[in-house]
Chains A and B, each alone.
Chain A
């Protein structure tokens, strides 16, 4: 247990959230390495993500684009880094709806803006559901992907 106790207590409790509260994450530049690693990990080696010549000649983008789901994972990573969901206070990630609006190109720098849109205590005492609207935004301030997540948090009492 050494070294884990403090870290596991960093997260927020249900009561700590206010509707309308906004969180902005740090940024992350999506590199070619990210796309290569993601292709290896997911097994999705589609030419859209691996073949520059194919992309130049055959696609409206003209260059390699990142996997859609890489954007979703990037928002999860940046959101996790906020620390509000870390450790034992967040009991479960219940679900999410997520829309893909624009492609992500290598070199794009993304960040996530999150707004708390709803909070509801559950029928079971001591826990509540926080609903967060999230937007994945690039360096041109374009919304690339967006959606809503439901998270189950513990209450303090």
Chain B
């Protein structure tokens, strides 16, 4: 678990990688109900600028959230997302392997609270070191001394 005190300004937090497969796109299309030809129709995509099917932009957001959760950064009882921004820089293609790099920008105490606010910039990077998505996350993170021995 990563508490408020464990974040140092300027620290770099790097997730493990994930290869985005055809199965991910098919599954995400089914779950999200987005069957746009850009993601589903290989023949249609031969005539697009990408020449092939691309992952849904929001699939990239989900993949980065899963990788970040694995690192204990977000989506836990002690660390919750307050706000996220993202820009889509380039498409994720089938077979691309992406990971996420975070840099801690600011730490802000919340008075009379067991939590503090952390902002981090993050980049989703593919195997060619290209940035596919980037943005800033703001998280509400529990302080160590605020942890009321909730863990038995």
Within the complex, the shortest CB–CB distance from B34 to chain A, in Å, comes to: 5
A93 lies within 8 A of B88 (CB): yes
What are the residues of chain B within 8 A of A95 when measuring CB–CB?
A: 85-88, 135
What are the residues of chain B within 8 A of A38 when measuring CB–CB?
A: 31, 62
* Residues of chain B from 64 to 120 with CB closer than 8 A to chain A in the complex: 65-67, 69-70, 75-77, 80-88
- Decide: A43 near B88, CB < 8 A? Known: A7-B37, A72-B61, A87-B37: no
A67 lies within 8 A of B87 (CB): no
Number of chain A residues whose Cβ lies closer than 8 Å to a Cβ of chain B: 36
Within the complex, the shortest CB–CB distance from A95 to chain B, in Å, comes to: 4
What are the 6 closest A-B residue pairs judged by CB atoms, nearest first? Answer: A42-B66, A95-B87, A43-B66, A97-B85, A44-B69, A69-B65
**Can you show 7 pairs from A to B with CB atoms below 8 A apart?**
A44-B70, A80-B36, A93-B57, A96-B85, A98-B84, A99-B83, A100-B83
Interface set of B (CB-CB < 8 Å, partner A): 18, 24, 27-28, 31-34, 36-37, 41, 43-44, 56-58, 61-63, 65-67, 69-70, 75-77, 80-88, 135, 150
Interface set of A (CB-CB < 8 Å, partner B): 1, 4, 7-8, 34, 37-38, 41-44, 46-48, 58-59, 67-69, 72-73, 76-77, 80-81, 86-87, 92-100
Known: A41-B28, A41-B62, A96-B86. 12 other contacts (CB 8 A): A43-B69, A46-B75, A58-B77, A67-B65, A73-B31, A73-B61, A80-B34, A95-B87, A95-B135, A97-B83, A97-B84, A100-B82
